[in-house]
Amino acid sequence: MVLGWAEIGRGRVVAGLVVDGAGFELVVGDRRVGPRRSLQASDVDLLAAVADLYVDAVRSGSGEQALLGVGRRLYRWLDGERGQLTELLDLAPAPLVFEVQGPARPSAGAWALLRAPFELLAAPEGGFLAEEDRRRFAVVRRLGRPVAVPRLDDYRLGVAFMASAPRGQQELDFEAEESAILASGWGDEP
């Protein structure tokens, strides 16, 4: 049974991984990529180590090579023996929204996957996936299953702003700013 999902937003196919208490699977839309994988204690340890390496690299101000190392290690693990991540990348259209979906109440293993720095994914001999213009790779995380978003009514507030000035500072000319916005036609209905 595929635990995946088909689309979000404006018809974008979602790709990524779905995790539950015992394991995870990689998916593109409603299609599973490779077999479901169990989440062993050794996997949780590896994911925690990768997250720690990321935190250490950021805190120490390490350069790009240290972050690439983290991304490549995570890529190799997720790719596994069967090249599942490589296949997912071949199947998923751009823009690639890589969603990591966990249960509403994640186990320790699910938290390890949710916290992994997938934003740093980097092919073993390449650069960061997020830097590839053609792929437009982005990572999102979700707790629980996706639900349909209610349709907005005709009385929603589009934009609201209020000018203010801190005490003792030069007074803002908010009336001129509002007039300029209204004169530009910004926010007019199409």
Over its length of 190 residues, how does the chain's per-residue pLDDT go in tens digits? 333 333 344 456 678 999 987 899 999 988 899 999 999 999 999 999 999 999 988 888 888 888 999 999 999 999 999 999 999 999 998 888 899 999 999 998 899 999 999 999 999 888 899 988 787 888 999 998 877 778 878 877 666 666 666 777 777 776 787 787 777 765 555 4
Separation between Cα atoms, residue 48 and residue 46, nearest integer Å: 5
Please state whether the predicted TM-score (pTM) of the whole model is above 0.75. Answer: no
Amino acid letter for position 172:
L
Closest of 3, 72, 65 to residue 36, by C-alpha: 3
